[in-house]
Copies of this chain bind each other. A is one copy, B any other.
Amino acid sequence: LKLSEIARAVEGRVEGGSDPDITGVAPLDRASTSDLALFSALQYRAEATATEAGAILTSPDLAAHLPEETVRLVVPRVHAALAALIPLLYPERRPAPGVHPTAVIEPGAEVMDAASVGAYAVIGAGSYVAGGAVIGAHVVVGRDCRIGADAYLHPHVTLYDDVVLGARCIVHSGARIGSDGFGYSSSRAGHEKIRHVGRCVLGDDVEIGANTTIDRGSIGDTVIGSGTKIDNLVQVGHNVRMGEHCIVVSQVGVSGSTQLGRFVTLGGQAGIKGHIRIGDGATVAGQAGVFGDVEAGSTVSGYPARPHRESLRAQAVALKLPELMRRLRAIERAVFGKDTPEP
């Protein structure tokens, strides 16, 4: 594709005086003359100046840091343009519709004609797979599940019984949806299992990362709102309810019955207590330990999590603790004439 053709598709502007043929996208330090390279943060300025890329995709701000003769494709939002141009250069290889001869479709399961079911997949009795859905090799779907139109389940996904996936959901390899929650009736004799009879219900356009686990509800449902994206190795406890368009980064743990609003962001490895509420648009920093409700729109961090500004201030002071100790001793000597007065 000519760079100008790409520019038209992403509503960008070609600058720098030529219009090269582009066959791929590459990072600045590995790009060749037929690649479009991405320059999206100032910290990569040196690589952007040294790159051999045929053209650079960048924003108006960053374009100013490039030599004038650099061929560039300038767009208002670099990542939006990237999302739009990748399908032009790399057509998706979606499996053709049809059921692989080795797949097991249990009696009473229904697979629409336009769906694709891979090798050795198992679809349980009473389950329904809508048109356009892709069920990867070795996927196991339990009983009475519903998989929405154009959903994509990568190899080795497990859905337990009664899972509902909306349209266009993407579930990555090894994700487990609908496993029993961790609930017991404990006594001195031990822990008696409380069997879980709720479901997992995911909205439309949800993405679930590789090896992530989402427990079914104990008696109600675990609910993931439409448009919410969950990264790899995340744990979602029983009865959790997430709103729409949340972002949950890798290795987060959300304990049972906690509720997230819309557009909540949970940073990597954050841990969220059970039975609390996190308001719309709130952000939890990576590795934070959240023990209480979080207000809509706020940002919290640290252990225990508190408003991010407070955390930063406390961190700054914590760094000065050894110095503070020395100063305290100096005062003690001046005031009491000795090092460590008895309080």
Is A194 an interface residue, CB under 8 A from the partner?
Answer: yes
Contact of A158 with B173 at beta-carbon distance under 8 Å, contacts A122-B138, A250-B253 already known = yes
Identical chains bound together, number: 3
Please name the residue on chain B nearest to A157 by beta carbon: B156
* A250 vs B302: C-alpha distance when bound (angstroms): 20
A116 interface residue per 8 A CB criterion: no
Residue among B137, B251, B319, B334 making CB contact with A314, cutoff 8 Å: B319
Separation of A173 and B82 alpha carbons in the complex (Å) = 34
A239 / chain B contacts, CB cutoff of 8 Å: 27
A321 touches B314 (CB 8 A): yes
- Does A54 interact with chain B (Cβ within 8 Å)? no
Number of interface residues, chain A, beta carbon within 8 A: 121
Q: Mark A218-246, 1 if CB is under 8 A from B, else 0.
A: 01110000010101110101010000110
Residue from B158, B235, B253, B331 within 8 A of A331 (CB atoms): B331
Which of B38, B89, B185, B341 meets A83, CB within 8 Å?
A: B185
A13 within 8 A of B: no
Q: How far is the CB of A43 from chain B (nearest CB, A)?
A: 7
Cβ of A158 and Cβ of B174 under 8 Å apart? yes
Known interface pairs A122-B120, A176-B211, A287-B271; A343-B317 also in contact (CB < 8 Å) = no
By beta carbon, the residue of chain B nearest A325 is B317
CB–CB B325/A314 < 8 A: no
Report A128-140 CB contacts with B as 1/0, cut-off 8 Å. Answer: 0000000011101
Query: Chain B residues with Cβ under 8 A from A80's Cβ?
Result: 185, 187, 192
B137 and A137 contacting across the interface, CB-CB below 8 Å: no
Say if the beta carbon of A329 comes within 8 Å of chain B: yes
Which of A86, A191, A341 counts the most chain B CB atoms within 10 A? A191
Chain A 115-126, CB-CB to B under 8 Å as 1, else 0, gives: 000111010000
Instruction: Show the binding face of A for B, using Cβ within 8 Å.
Output: 24-27, 30, 38, 41, 43, 77, 79-80, 82-83, 86-87, 89-90, 92-93, 102, 104, 118-120, 122, 136-138, 140, 143, 154-156, 158, 160-161, 170, 172-174, 176, 179-180, 182-187, 190-195, 197, 205, 207, 209-211, 213, 215, 217, 219-221, 227, 229, 231-233, 235, 237, 239, 244-245, 247, 249-251, 253, 255, 268-269, 271, 273, 275, 286-287, 289, 302-304, 306, 310, 313-315, 317-332, 334-336, 340-341, 343
A-B residue pairs in contact (CB < 8 Å), sample of 15: A80-B185, A90-B195, A104-B119, A104-B137, A119-B122, A136-B140, A156-B158, A174-B211, A182-B232, A191-B229, A231-B235, A250-B253, A324-B325, A330-B341, A334-B335
11 additional contacts (CB under 8 A) given A104-B120, A172-B176, A233-B233: A38-B219, A79-B194, A86-B194, A173-B179, A190-B245, A191-B247, A210-B215, A213-B232, A233-B235, A273-B286, A287-B303
